[in-house]
């Protein structure tokens, strides 16, 4: 559970949570040589729109009001971020690398419980992937999300797939190996998946696609995925202490 029951209470907690997340991100950026992106707290009007669009039953299903992201060059750098969280004794869930089947977008998500009890979402992207999202992919995604025309949605999703397939092809080969070159998970790739997401947690249950999220920028809730997602990673035991987002 999270320590709020109203959106007003959530936004009272959010500034301290975001500030702590920024301190963590900036420290790891310096120590690990990765870039940290701090977009600040999600705007309240965006949160209210999301509550309606997603049909959440409880406001505590929101986990991305405090949010941030890391840009990495290699899958090993991403593992280093997870190792740093563990070494610091932080309470977190690593959802592993995921790929949206409809669009091909790839990222790795971590839910982190901050000192005031609020959950924050951290996304990890390869440099080519976040560049593709910033320059073209996000605009295509936003347009597809607002469309009611199935043909237009299919066309926009295919354009995203082309953009993100190209970005994945320019990413670390270890990351490419998790998913292969098609829009389906790479069959028989469990060994590669475990290598690229090594030392994530003592618990080794496969990441559930139910806990993955839609592509927002950055920090999409782990609840109510918009479309199927292939996953590569393992969870910590933290989900057992989290509220079921279903």
Percent of the chain with pLDDT over 90: 71
pLDDT of residue 216: 35
Q: What is the mean pLDDT of the chain?
A: 80
Look at residue 191 and tell me whether its pLDDT is greater than 60: no
Q: Positive or negative, the Cα torsion across 86, 88, 90, 95?
A: negative
Structure confidence at residue 180 as a pLDDT band (50, 70, 90): confident
Range of weakest confidence among 18-27, 37-46, 70-79, 196-205 = 196-205
Tens digits of residue pLDDT in 16-32: 999 999 999 999 999 99
Tens digits of residue pLDDT in 90-118: 999 999 999 999 999 999 999 999 999 99
Query: What are the backbone dihedrals phi and psi of residue 31, each rounded to the nearest 5 degrees, phi first?
Result: -75, -35
Look at residue 215 and tell me whether its pLDDT is greater than 80: no
Mean pLDDT score, 73-96:
97
Percent of the chain with pLDDT over 70: 73
pLDDT of residue 232: 57
- Name residue 169's beta-bridge partners: none
Range of weakest confidence among 56-65, 109-118, 229-238 = 229-238
**Long-range contacts, 17-21 (Cβ 8 Å, 24+):** 17/65, 17/66, 17/114, 17/116, 17/118, 17/120, 18/66, 18/67, 18/120, 20/114, 20/115, 20/116, 21/66, 21/67, 21/68, 21/112, 21/114, 21/120, 21/122
pLDDT of residue 193: 34
Select the more confidently predicted residue: 189 or 229: 229
Helix crossing, 75-87 with 7-32: angle to 10°? 110
Supply the pTM of this predicted model: 0.76
Select the more confidently predicted residue: 87 or 214: 87
Look at residue 202 and tell me whether its pLDDT is greater than 80: no
- Rounded distance, CA 124 to CA 11, Å? 24
Closest CA to 103 of 73, 139, 69, 56: 139
Closest CA to 19 of 75, 54, 67: 67
Whether the CB-CB separation of 91 and 212 falls below 8 Å is answered with no
Lookup: tokens for 147: 């469309």
């Amino acid at each position: 559970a999270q320590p709020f029951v109203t959106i007003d209470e959530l936004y009272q907690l959010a500034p301290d949570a975001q500030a702590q997340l920024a301190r963590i991100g900036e420290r790891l950026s310096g120590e690990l040589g990765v870039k940290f992106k701090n977009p600040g707290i999600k705007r309240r009007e965006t949160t209210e729109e999301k509550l309606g669009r997603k049909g959440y039953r409880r406001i505590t299903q929101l986990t991305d009001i405090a949010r941030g992201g890391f840009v990495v060059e290699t899958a090993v750098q991403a593992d280093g971020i997870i190792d740093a969280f563990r070494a610091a004794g932080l309470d977190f869930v690593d959802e592993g690398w995921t790929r949206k089947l409809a669009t091909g977008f790839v990222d790795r998500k971590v839910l982190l419980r901050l000192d005031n009890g609020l959950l924050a979402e951290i996304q990890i992207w390869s440099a080519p992937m976040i560049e593709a999202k910033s320059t073209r992919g996000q605009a295509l995604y936003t347009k597809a999300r607002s469309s009611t025309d199935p043909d237009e949605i299919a066309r926009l999703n295919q354009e995203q797939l082309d953009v993100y397939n190209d970005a994945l092809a320019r990413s670390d080969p270890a990351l490419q190996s998790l998913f292969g070159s098609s829009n389906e998970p790479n069959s028989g790739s469990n060994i590669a998946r475990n290598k690229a997401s090594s030392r994530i947690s003592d618990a080794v249950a496969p990441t559930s696609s139910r806990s993955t999220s839609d592509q927002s920028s950055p920090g999409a809730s782990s609840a109510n995925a918009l479309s199927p997602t292939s996953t590569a990673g393992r969870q910590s035991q933290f989900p057992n202490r989290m509220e079921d987002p279903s």
